[in-house]
């Protein structure tokens, strides 16, 4: 039986649409969720799409993904650059993981150049704006179709 694709979003992404729009664009998190759900439905997948400002909550969702997800797309936001704990959680996930960033952290401040979490990811999408999420859904769907 197929399981949902998890899309997990880290801190401050609840402010999408109004947060530094020159960097993150004008699409709200609710609109992004609707875009992702439409794309996933087209590819025959259900989504579990969530956002939290809490590291603990994100870790708990990653734990749920261990047995509960067919694929995991994660934008850890600022936790990308700080969280060994999220990396440790991700290391237990056996389904495909894509790390995603709306902006390109490598074109930004030096403290954004290091990611703890990429070590656990199959792939990385960055700098494509919120459309990166659609590419990530397609990439996971393609990987699952190839299985």
Contact set with ligand DQA (CB under 6 A):
12, 75, 77-78, 80, 101-103, 105, 112
Nearer CB in complex with ligand DQA: 27/80: 80
Nearer CB in complex with ligand DQA: 115/144: 115
Catalytic pick from 26, 63, 101, 113? 101
Catalytic pick from 24, 45, 116, 133? 24
Rg (CA), the chain: 14
Nearer CB in complex with ligand DQA: 54/67: 54
**Strands (E) located in the chain:** 5-9, 47-51, 71-75, 97-101, 123-126
Name the closest residue to ligand DQA (Cβ): 77
Cα separation, 69 vs 101, whole angstroms: 20
> Please, what is the minimum distance in Å from the beta carbon of residue 95 to ligand DQA?
21
> Please, what is the minimum distance in Å from the beta carbon of residue 30 to ligand DQA?
17
> Please, what is the minimum distance in Å from the beta carbon of residue 27 to ligand DQA?
12
Q: How far is CA 101 from the centre of its chain?
A: 8
Nearer CB in complex with ligand DQA: 3/15: 15
Cα separation, 92 vs 119, whole angstroms: 12
User: Among this protein's residues, is 106 annotated catalytic?
Assistant: no
Q: Which residue has the tokens 């650059």?
A: 81
Sheet of 5-9, strand order: 47-51, 5-9, 71-75, 97-101, 123-126
> Please, what is the minimum distance in Å from the beta carbon of residue 98 to ligand DQA?
13
- Length of the chain measured in residues: 147
User: Among this protein's residues, is 116 annotated catalytic?
Assistant: no
Catalytic residues: 24, 101
């Amino acid at each position: 039986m197929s399981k949902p694709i998890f899309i997990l979003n880290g801190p401050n992404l609840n402010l999408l649409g109004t947060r530094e729009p020159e960097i993150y664009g004008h699409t709200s998190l609710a609109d992004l969720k609707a875009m992702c759900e439409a794309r996933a439905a087209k590819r025959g997948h259900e989504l579990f799409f969530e956002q939290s400002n809490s590291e603990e909550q994100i870790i708990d969702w990653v734990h749920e993904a261990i047995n509960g997800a067919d694929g995991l797309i994660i934008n850890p936001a600022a936790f990308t650059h700080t969280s060994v704990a999220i990396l440790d959680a991700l290391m237990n996930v056996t389904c495909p993981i894509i790390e995603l960033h709306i902006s390109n952290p490598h074109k930004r401040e030096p403290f954004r150049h290091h990611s703890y979490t990429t070590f656990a990811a199959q792939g990385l999408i960055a700098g494509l704006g919120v459309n990166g999420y659609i590419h990530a859904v397609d990439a996971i769907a393609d990987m699952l179709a190839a299985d």
